[in-house]
Amino acid sequence: MHAMKGIVRRRFGSPADALRLQEIDRPALEDDGVLIRVRAASIHIGDVYGVWGLPKAMRPVFRSMSAKNGVVGTDMAGTVEAVGSSVTDFRPGDEVFGTCKGAFAEHVSAKEDALAVQPANLSCEQAAAIGVSAFTALQALRNHGNLRAGQKVLITGASGGVGTFAVQIAKSLGADVTGVCSTRNIEMVRSIGADRVIDYTQQDYTCGGPEYDLVLDNIGNHSLKDARRALKTTGTLLPNGTPAPSGWFGGLGHPLKAGIVSVFVKQQGRPFLSTENKDDLATLNELAAKGEIIPVIDRTYPLDSAIEAISHVGEGHAQGTTVITVKESIGS
């Protein structure tokens, strides 16, 4: 077995307590697997919750999210080194991106269906950024929010991992987009296509009258009732954000309440869990190739500083997507 470096979760806790950069075995190549030399990986907020192990009730899920060797991380881009005997879509040398278990490492084994060839106009850091946050934004707006051309959508957390994709995808769907963010992010959110920006430090979007067909709430800091005040009578409030997770169930109350209220209140959308799938990866790939989504890279950190990078995302003030760059150091 060749060795490699990877970020291993040894217990749940703060990134500094829970994670170590360790030398471990490279993943084995399975018949339906693609072995990839990782060039860049990106961090989504779920990766951070999986390090914290919060809420505690989700720990079995978090355990199942890491690779067999204990490495964490989901989103990555890199070069195919070898393919399993049943793999037909990729061959060694292909530059690919997608999702897998154990992305924060020098090598990963991914499933064929979870990968696509990188669009030529993107750097591998940008390709790595098109991960869970992008799937979430696409599925929120198109599947759960049913957003159509000409409709008005308001997106809270427009400056974050999900929000920066949501603003761009909403524009690509032909919507009129209002982004909600803090003062320092106004220009960035405008630059990715928002028609209007509300600075939440100056203005409360729930007090502006019934204006929107869809509110995609990536923050969850207002009561559901207050947030629905921003909707036209036919509009939908789609809850996606939760207050920071804590204890056994902390953070689950808001989506749970939304689920119950949605049975009785037409404007209330149901919470959803995003899924990674081949068709949506193809859609995201196409949008990126056409320049309709250009990932906003917050900061990049080398693999040696990945623990710091994960702490940064956990502070909750990301500006787009935080990326880990990976240069092979062992056994190459």
- Which residues make up the interface to ligand NAP (CB under 6 A)? 44-46, 132-133, 136, 156-157, 159-163, 180-182, 200, 218-219, 221, 240-242, 272-274, 316-319
Residue pair 80/90 in contact (Cβ under 8 Å)? The answer is yes
Q: Which is nearer to ligand NAP, 123 or 206 (CB)?
A: 206
Q: Which is nearer to ligand NAP, 60 or 93 (CB)?
A: 60
Q: Which is nearer to ligand NAP, 51 or 80 (CB)?
A: 51
Closest separation in Å from C-beta 241 to ligand NAP:
4
Rg of the chain over all Cα atoms, to the nearest angstrom: 20
Closest separation in Å from C-beta 247 to ligand NAP:
16
Closest separation in Å from C-beta 196 to ligand NAP:
14
Rounded to whole angstroms, the Cα distance separating 71 from 265 reads 42
Closest separation in Å from C-beta 109 to ligand NAP:
23
Closest separation in Å from C-beta 332 to ligand NAP:
32
Residue pair 259/131 in contact (Cβ under 8 Å)? The answer is no
Closest separation in Å from C-beta 272 to ligand NAP:
5
Q: Which is nearer to ligand NAP, 149 or 207 (CB)?
A: 207
Nearest residue relative to ligand NAP (C-beta): 160
Place of tokens 């995302």: 313
Q: Which is nearer to ligand NAP, 109 or 159 (CB)?
A: 159
Closest separation in Å from C-beta 156 to ligand NAP:
5
Closest separation in Å from C-beta 198 to ligand NAP:
8
Q: Which is nearer to ligand NAP, 80 or 134 (CB)?
A: 134
Q: Which is nearer to ligand NAP, 102 or 245 (CB)?
A: 245
Of the candidates 219, 253, 245, the one whose C-alpha atom is nearest the C-alpha of residue 47 is 245
Q: Which is nearer to ligand NAP, 167 or 326 (CB)?
A: 167
Place of tokens 């060839």: 117
Closest separation in Å from C-beta 3 to ligand NAP:
32
Contacts of 188 (CB under 8 A, 6+ apart): 159, 164, 181, 296, 319, 320
Q: Which is nearer to ligand NAP, 36 or 134 (CB)?
A: 134
